[in-house]
Amino acid sequence: MLVCKIFAAALLWPALATAEVLSLSSLHWTLRNENGSIVIPAKVPSQAHLDLLDAGIITEPLLGINDFTQRWVVNDNWTYTADLTPLTRQISRDARALLVFYGIDTIANITVAGHPVAWVSNQFQQYVYDVTDFIAEPAHRNTNITVALESAYYYGLNVTSRPDSEISPTGDFEYAGIRQYIRKTQSDFGWDWGPAFVPSGIFKPAYLVTLTPPRTGRELGAETNATVVASAPASHPLLASGGSVFIEENSLEISKVGQTTITAPNQNADWLVNVTLGVRSVVGSDFPTLTIAIPELRVSSGPLRVRAIPVSTNTTTFVSASFKIPDKVPERWFPHNLGTPKLYNFTITLTLPQSSHSHSFEPPQAVSFVTRSGFRTVQLVQTAYPAAEAAALGITPGDQWHFEVNGRAFYTLGTNIIPFDPFYARMTSAQVRWVLESAVKSGQNMLRVWGGGIYQPSDELTGGYDFYAACDELGIFAWSELIFSDALYPINDWLLASVAPEVRQNVRRINRHPSNAQWAGGNEIEGIVIGVNQTLANGTHYLDEFQTLFGEFLHDIVLEEESSVAYTDCSTTSGVLSLDPYEIRYDNKTDGFIYGNGERYNYDASQAFNYSTYPRSRFMNEFGFHSQPSFYSWEEVLLSPDDFSFNSTVVASRDHHPPAGSLAFPNPNAPQGQAQMTSAVELWLPTPNTTDTNQTFAQWCWSTQVFQSLNMVSEIAFYRRGAGEGENNLGALVWQLNDIWQGASWSAIEHSGRWKVLQYGMADIFRPVVIYPFWTPDNATLEVVVTSDRWETVHGSAALTWYDWSGTFIDSSMLPFTVPSLNNTLILAIQELDNIVPTNHNATDVWLYLNITAQVDNNKTVTHEQFFAPVPLSTANLVDPEIQVTPGPDLTFTLSAKGGVAPFTWLDHPAGTVGFFADKATGLPSNGFILVPGIDRTVQFIPNPELSTVAHPDPADFVVRSLWNNTHL
């Protein structure tokens, strides 16, 4: 290990190899079903449904009830075939050809030139095979590459029919009881927010990489030790491959010297930069070196000796090197709401001098590439609160559970990510980036990558689209999870042998991303296994299996591959008894203490705002309520005018909550989920009912979103307030951010990218300093609280103004406040409704407008507003707001209430547009606001031109609505 050296002059590099990285996308592919009745053109990357769609065999899978009518696709076997000749005809006789798949979904036999290559069964692994000899000697003149995919459904049925198979004693979704045996996206088999298409295909990019031994020095006219000034390093490790070396895997991890996953990093220690490359090479070297350089910092490690690299294209050789950088040299990476997400370009060069026994005159071979990363520490603090500290601060005893970035605790604000589409292969970086940008615009600093989906990719070349690199750039943490969810997984040698390389590959890949915050073993399984252990006679069997897989096997693999972020056994967890050795707490708890993190799902809408039903947790990693997508989203998939009704067969069939637990269609349990949304609207909002059936349907869909936002904003405010309460809550992650299709779900953003009411609600309640009225009906108490997530003390003032629903001013007061770091301040507490409502006014006729102004971050002014209605809006005496919309230049709109007050004034942008509405003065997201007569609002629609199919929307096509439209045209 060497301390870094500062650049003194231009670097000299050995001669760089010429890349031969050939995309299999360039081939002419065909797709064939089992009996040959369907043979159509195909693509790679793709999935069978998508190629069938392109060929006109099926319609768009998301239309109508195609999730039911297209089940025949799941039941068939599909084979992708292409002639390799266009890629192989130029390969020289001394070259080696590596077949590289970055993802196959899922069960497949691979053949090349008529020769069997491999049987694969893990969607999450990348596969590399030397196919040189097969290409050189094709069987029966067969020059094809073939990937024959077996139905994952039938494969699962076959496996689970074995007498030794173990069936999880838990409920399931549509294709029930088989997914535990298939290393595939778990929600492909159905979930309570999405369809079950069980897709198959070569769903990620694939390549043929050719490696050629170097020409001798005499052939080059060069001396044995000749060096030349380097050409530009490749922009990606894959593109640096070819020539003589293939970079199969790469890991760049930045930590503090002495840091581990379970100890607090020394913030003054040097940085430790560790690089690991997995390579295959046609040239051997006894004394290879790795050089790590950061040009912007004028820092280089110089050549660092690594282990010998043999000539081998059938196995992978891993080489590692690390060096130190003084703490103060680089600027640190922070999430966007706490600082700057600073990134640096790292140039990594692997040099292979000829082996000592070589008698040729080969110049040293080298591969060089650029990758981006940042310097930060992130720690998940899980140890017990010191008793004296807890007593002094009024903290409820128990364990801590929060994140620290660069040595400082921060409040985690965010949501949960699910797969972006049922068909991974058609997702684009632009679509994903819009979701991530939307999260940032709404103030989120962390996304949880849900463990029932897929390991999100790092870049387009290997993953099809970009996720983690975009998180790095945008400054948003990603809580990563291994793909296990809501089931008990049987332990067997086959599963462990398949999972081990899957986990190693993905942890190594994601190491370089400063946005990665932790690794969790899976989703919600710890709570399930605790319940099974308590209720089933053989429950200890399942607990032992869980402990083996999540408490030992996966834990050990992750910690062997990284040392800079924490591992937890499960997303929702009771925490640990010990970190060293790693001991999960399970149900070993002391009454009255708080452990681990929490979640809340309560579908009794009467309890939506009952704070006593909200968990007092250190960290809330899941909580949500479902809503319908907008009328615009339904227009994308409904095929008949009769379908545009809240409980139509098609609309209800897309409500998978609670799940069917079988292939029964439509979901026999959907009426429960529909009723939950219906009762929520009827309890808290005016019940939609007009003479226009389309308007009524649109208002019903929108009203479910209004309730969802009201409910989630209430919970977020409560959990944020908890930072200064006994629970010392430091995290709130809403379930969920994005949608996988057009149907009832917990999402804040619809499948098309359209923001729901909740997305604007989060943009409001996730502001750095917020005011919120906490109303407790049981004791008729109103508490007005100001909460801050800033690291410094915040000073400001609050204005509390009473109006009636006609917009008439009644009374106002000003209250100064001071909020300590990561804390809250109670600025008003009143009991009894008679003391709260202004004198001589009825509770149904008035409402309270609350707004604050505060100084943060070196005198930056921030504002926030909320409103409080003493009675549910379903019983409030609302007045026709007579909203007037005045269009302006650049898609600006000024909204005026010419009649009464309009709670949840809402603008819809037209079909074919993607974007959001922002307050014209502040630039912050703004929609679903309260509009008061005499106080106009001007907002601007900010379109996403890359995703919008309508480039220049007509202002006349924008639609305004409010709660008044629930009952009036």
CB 605 within 8 A of CB 581: no
| 524 tagged catalytic | yes
- Catalytic residue, chosen from 174, 481, 502, 524, is 524
Between CA 666 and CA 650 the distance in angstroms is 8
- Give the residue among 497, 615, 469, 513 at the shortest CA–CA distance from 557: 497
Side-by-side strand order, sheet with 781-788: 769-776, 781-788, 823-831
3-class SS at 413? strand
3-class SS at 576? strand
Q: Which two tokens stand for residue 774?
A: 């906490």
Angle formed by the axes of helices 693-721 and 670-684, to 10°? 80
User: DSSP letters along 259-314, please?
Assistant: --TTS---TTSPEEEEEEEEEEESS-BSS-EEEEEEGGGTEE---EE---B-SEEE
User: DSSP letters along 484-501, please?
Assistant: -BSSPPPP-HHHHHHHHH
Say how many Å lie between the first and final Cα of the chain, rounded. 74
Q: Which two tokens stand for residue 295?
A: 């040009």
Cα dihedral 457, 463, 464, 466 sign: positive
> In b/e form, how buried is each residue of 317-333, taking b as 16+ CB within 10 angstroms?
bebebbbbbebeebebb
Q: H-helix or E-strand containing 867? A: strand 860-868
- Cα distances (angstroms) measured from residue 964 to each of 875, 878, 880: 13, 7, 6
- Give the residue among 131, 94, 88 at the shortest CA–CA distance from 112: 131
Phi-psi region of 250 (alpha: psi -120 to 50; beta: other; left: phi over 0): beta
Contacts of 219 (CB under 8 A, 6+ apart): none
> In b/e form, how buried is each residue of 818-829, taking b as 16+ CB within 10 angstroms?
ebeebbbbebbe
Q: H-helix or E-strand containing 722? A: none
Q: Cβ atoms within 10 A of the Cβ of 1, count? A: 11
> In b/e form, how buried is each residue of 431-445, taking b as 16+ CB within 10 angstroms?
bbbbbbebbbbbbbb
Map 1-61 to HEC letters.
Answer: CEECEECCCCCCECCECCCCEEEHHHCCEEEEECCCCCEEEECCCCCHHHHHHHCCCCCCC
Residue 164, φ and ψ in degrees, nearest 5: -95, 5
- Cα distances (angstroms) measured from residue 103 to each of 131, 510, 812: 18, 16, 62
CB 476 within 8 A of CB 513: no
Longest dimension (CA), the chain: 103
- Give the residue among 838, 803, 785 at the shortest CA–CA distance from 935: 803
Q: H-helix or E-strand containing 112? A: strand 108-112
- Cα distances (angstroms) measured from residue 919 to each of 520, 631, 807, 890, 942: 38, 24, 21, 13, 10
Q: Cite the active site residues.
A: 524
